[in-house]
Amino acid sequence: MMINPASLAFDIDGVVADTMGLFLRIARDDYNIMNVDYENITSYLLEDCLGSKIDKKIIDIIITQLIDGNYVQSLQAIDGAPEALNKIADAHTPLLFVTARPYPGPIRDWLTETVGLSHSGIHIISTGSFDKKTDVLLKHNVTHFVEDRLETCFDISKAGLHPILFKQPWNRERHPFKEVESWNELTALINF
């Protein structure tokens, strides 16, 4: 499978941005919650896997902070994402990012400042819901979508699209999709 860069789109959180890593740092630094590790995040719904360790109200507060950009710690890129995305951008722009965030918030500036993409080289669509991603991808002629939420992969696959699952602790169930563990693995699939 060699993917045309013009037909490829990306989720942001958990694929480009290490949002769960920042969630854990905020929990430790701001709420003194020390007993949670990245590998403990075995479900995309954090209250399902962390509810016994972190109060739901705190989970909700931290998620709101992440979406709004109200945090002191820095949001890091997933290893290899900046280099890979800039290489893909050299082949095709604008890069399409489709996120379930309710609004882009500070993520556009983060993509330019941290990842090194130009404002004109990115197009971010916030759907506000996971189940609205498929329609956006179809409208933009996307054939391949890099996603970390397994349920979304099943949804977009039903529409004839090809999800590429970015491996994370919360998507370790059996599935039929192409899976990558790193951005190097992903770029090896792209026809430059």
Please indicate, yes or no, whether residues 64 and 88 belong to a single structural domain of this protein.
no
Decide if 192 is inside a domain: no
- pLDDT in the model for residue 15: 98
Our count of domains for the chain comes to 2
Choose among 99, 95, 76, 97: nearest CA to 86.
95
- pLDDT in the model for residue 107: 94
The pTM of the full predicted model, rounded to 2 decimals, is 0.96
Please indicate, yes or no, whether residues 147 and 171 belong to a single structural domain of this protein.
yes
Please indicate, yes or no, whether residues 119 and 180 belong to a single structural domain of this protein.
yes
pLDDT of 41-65, one tens digit each?
A: 999 899 999 999 999 999 999 999 9
- pLDDT in the model for residue 28: 96
CB atoms within 10 A of CB 33: 17
Percent of the chain that is helix, strand, coil (3-state, to 5): 45, 15, 40
Please indicate, yes or no, whether residues 99 and 12 belong to a single structural domain of this protein.
yes
Q: Which residues pair with 13 in a beta bridge?
A: 17
Please indicate, yes or no, whether residues 99 and 176 belong to a single structural domain of this protein.
yes
Cα separation, 13 vs 6, whole angstroms: 21
Range of the domain at 159: 5-18+77-187
Rg (CA), the chain: 16
- pLDDT in the model for residue 184: 97
Cα-based distances in Å from 17 to 3, 107, 110, 157: 22, 9, 9, 23
- pLDDT in the model for residue 52: 93
Choose among 39, 78, 144: nearest CA to 153.
144
Please indicate, yes or no, whether residues 84 and 156 belong to a single structural domain of this protein.
yes
Contact 173, 150 (CB under 8 A): yes
The residue whose two tokens read 């929990």 is 27
Share of the chain above pLDDT 70, in %: 99
Cα separation, 98 vs 120, whole angstroms: 16
Task: For residue 164, give both structure tokens.
Answer: 């590429």
Sign of CA dihedral 124, 128, 133, 138: negative
Decide if 131 is inside a domain: yes
Q: Residue 169: which CATH number?
A: 3.40.50.1000
CB atoms within 10 A of CB 161: 19
- Which residues of the chain are modeled with pLDDT < 70? 1
